[in-house]
Amino acid sequence: MTKAPVAIKEPQGKLGILIPGMGAVTSTFIAGVEAIKRGISQPIGSLTQMGTIRLGKRTEKRTPLIKDFVPLAKLEDLVFGGWDIYEDDCYAAAMKAGVLEPRLLEQVKAPMQAIKPWKAVFDQSYVKRLNGPNVKSAKSKWDLAQMLRDDIQTFKQKNNLSRLVMIWCGSTEIFMESNHPAYNTIESFEKALRESNAAIAPSMIYAYAALREGIPFANGAPNLTADIPAMLELAKIKGSPLAGKDYKTGQTWMKTVVAPGLKARLLGLAGWYSTNILGNRDGEVLDDPESFRTKEESKLSVLDYILQPELYPELYKDYFHKVRINYYPPRGDNKEGWDNIDIFGWLGYPMQIKIDFLCRDSILAAPIALDVVLLLDLAQRSGMKGIQEWLSFYFKSPMTAPELYPEHDLFIQLMKLKNTLRHLRGEELITHLGLEYYD
């Protein structure tokens, strides 16, 4: 039974994409958009650009492209701006990152050179392996937040933008406990900003500035950032959608594919050992134990939520799970993830699964960044605000309402995403129950 569609404002005018962190992921994302606009390449990996959505019964054969089904912003209407601790323009940053071939970058050189990073809010106490000259200075973290808001307003006016979205593509910060009193309310958070309290990390200042401006915010790193009561309250008051955290790209993505298969077949798990080698800026940052702890928390939680050992103690109660990330500069952005999975089947007989995933970190992250900004913009134009759990498909540690546990099964996440789009357009939700046989 279909319902009335949700009233969605049309995506009129230009959409500004604000990005803290203009390194490998961002430069790959922007170069890709520019290449696609020019017909040089295809948006492979992007659900919003290449994905379809089934509507109604299978016999109806209605499967439009998602971008034709819901009113998304066009790639031609995206305008990019952002902050970085290094002064390189986007083209120079892409060349240094070494993700894309110079031959491709030369074809999008002009628009990328035009994107020069603004001075960043940065404190090496939170990202110990990095330092750069392009950094703001102010008397307090409150003042830094106001400077970011000024940057946002100037960018919007200069480019005649109708809407904005901010997506964090910066580095992983040190681990932060979530129970600090500064995080409890908007008032306590703003007091901590004025006092430059150490509980306020740079990524939180960006998120606060975005939400204060009524802008949707997504967190592509495992940092605590917006996953605190003060930010959730501010997002609801200002009507800003929130999503995150930590892009689901390489090894964790594989876990959300394989683990549901093991559980579906009720095969037991004795142990899952994961190790990575990575040589880009992200790998360098994660070489610091405090930043690695933030990433480790994000990666380790996935299996427990998928396998539900409390419901299947004979199969999953005592499995051993280990994650390692090793900084290896020669590999650059070409990350390699090794997984050794010890499973057991009928009558307890042991088996093994070995996975060696030679992936490209930023190539996998770029289409995620594109989808997330387009869908957050859609969410805001649809009147949605606060945590957008339907975007869990894209993240390692999905944000959820405080009383809910996160859903990590990739296929359930995809169904939830597409059903949300169906709901927005007044189409029948797909449950795959086969009820058409009873019509």
So what's the pLDDT on residue 1? Answer: 53
pLDDT at 40 over 50: yes
State the average pLDDT over residues 388-409: 93
pLDDT digits (tens, 9 = 90+) for 196-243: 999 999 999 999 999 999 999 999 999 999 999 999 999 999 999 999
pLDDT at 421 over 80: yes
Which range, 233-242, 249-258, 329-338, 425-434, has the best average confidence (pLDDT)? Answer: 233-242
Query: Residue 280 — φ and ψ, nearest 5°?
Result: -90, -170
**Residues 301, 305, 306, 312, Cα dihedral to 10°:** 120
List the 161-168 sheet strands across, edge first: 118-119, 78-84, 14-20, 161-168, 217-219, 241-244, 386-387
Of the candidates 71, 6, 1, which has an alpha carbon nearest to the alpha carbon of residue 420? 6
So what's the pLDDT on residue 439? Answer: 44
pLDDT-based confidence at residue 291 (cuts at 50, 70, 90) = confident
So what's the pLDDT on residue 181? Answer: 98
- The per-residue pLDDT of the chain, averaged, comes to 94
Residue 276 vs residues 23, 30, 102, 250, 362: alpha-carbon distances, Å: 20, 26, 27, 10, 15
Q: How far apart are CA 215 and CA 236, in angstroms?
A: 11
Q: What is the largest CA-CA distance in the chain?
A: 69
pLDDT at 436 over 60: no
Which has the minimum average pLDDT: 9-23, 208-222, 318-332, 413-427?
A: 318-332
Strands (DSSP E) contained in 267-335 are: 268-278, 320-327
So what's the pLDDT on residue 437? Answer: 45
Domains of the chain: 14-247+363-424 (3.40.50.720), 251-358 (3.30.360.10)
Query: Residue 18 — φ and ψ, nearest 5°?
Result: -95, 130
pLDDT digits (tens, 9 = 90+) for 246-272: 999 989 999 999 999 999 999 999 999
So what's the pLDDT on residue 297? Answer: 75
Residue 38 vs residues 76, 79, 110: alpha-carbon distances, Å: 10, 15, 13
So what's the pLDDT on residue 434? Answer: 56
Which has the minimum average pLDDT: 94-108, 125-139, 291-305?
A: 291-305
Contacts of 159 (CB under 8 A, 6+ apart): 14, 16, 79, 81
Contacts of 203 (CB under 8 A, 6+ apart): 20, 168, 170, 173, 219, 221, 223, 224, 225
pLDDT-based confidence at residue 155 (cuts at 50, 70, 90) = very high
So what's the pLDDT on residue 3? Answer: 78
